[in-house]
Amino acid sequence: MEALASFRHPWVLMLLVVPAALALWTWRRRGRALVLPFDHAPAARNSRVRFLLRTAECLPAMLLACVLLVLAGPQSWAEPRSKRALTNIQFCVDVSGSMMAQFGPGDRYDAAMVAINSFLDRREGDAFGLTFFGNNVLHWVPLTNDVSAFRCAPPFMHPRNLPSWFGGTEIGKALRACRKVLVERTDGDRMIVLVSDGYSSDLSGGEDEAIARELAAEGITVFTVHIAEGAIPDEVVRIATMTGGEAFKPEDEGGLDSIFARIDAMSKAKLEKSQAEASDDYIPWCIAALISLFAFLFAALGLRYTPW
């Protein structure tokens, strides 16, 4: 069965009995020899010549066998290869007015976007999405392997360019919106990287645990980067912990870069075995057919049976 599995149309192989029968008949048949008498000429039998003659007569049967093997669709199976398992990463970035506070040479928003772009370079092969939020949520970049849109996003979504009704911080609303985006992806792991600098009132009253359970049920891990002075809000820490992630607080730009490097290390891409793929493998049989054809034509030029 393993031999049949290497052909696309294995039933054609049953026709190989035809060239096999022809070859058997060629070797076993006995023709009538015409002997011309010559004085003092002994009748000699040359087994080597007879073998060459029979082999030459079998070449058409060999050619037919090669044609049948080609018609059966020979295939070769490649070795299973390891490929990188996809991770769907949704960046959820706070664009409230407080994100314009000084952080390094620029503000918090600029520093966060620079760190995100550096993180993208470490995660080649993953799918990325970008969501901005304040009191409202805007999905700026859908989940995609093309990260060029990320490079162009910072100037357009800077907090100073947004209307006043977009201000504020509602982390709970943003996380639920990111959850809806990620659950549409059936393949790969799911992760949210939340970048914020404020406290969110919509996480109080047990909402943080409810949101964490919703995210954990969908296999979504949350990593939080709290880019502000003071302690990280307990609600945000609880969401990250309950989903299998972690909450971080950078002190400066260098710390922000190291945090994204730690997130990358904590969520290393998995390798999975891909199935072996079959590909057409006609070349060996075509070469064998051509050799049989040229050998037959060459034999027809002068290799003939004569009884004397």
- Give the β-pairing of 271-273 and 87-94: unpaired
Give the pLDDT of residue 269: 54
Q: Which helix (H) or strand (E) holds 18?
A: helix 17-28
User: What is the identity of the amino acid at 116?
Assistant: I
Tokens matching residue 111: 């520093």
pLDDT 10s per residue in the chain (308 long)? 344 457 778 888 888 888 888 888 877 776 655 555 555 555 455 677 677 777 888 888 888 888 888 888 887 766 655 555 678 889 999 998 889 998 888 899 988 888 888 888 877 778 889 999 998 999 988 888 887 877 787 788 888 888 877 778 899 999 999 999 999 887 778 999 999 988 888 998 999 999 999 999 999 999 999 998 888 999 999 999 999 999 998 877 777 878 888 787 766 655 455 555 667 788 888 888 888 888 888 877 765 544 44
- Domains of the chain, earliest start first: 4-31+45-78+278-300 (no CATH), 85-268 (3.40.50.410)
Q: Whole-model pTM?
A: 0.61
41 φ, ψ to 5°?
A: -105, 110
Q: Which helix (H) or strand (E) holds 21?
A: helix 17-28
Residue 109: partners with Cβ closer than 8 Å, 6 or more residues away: 93, 95, 99, 100, 154, 158, 159
Beta-strand ranges (E) seen in 95-249 are 102-103, 106-107, 127-133, 137-144, 189-196, 220-226, 247-248
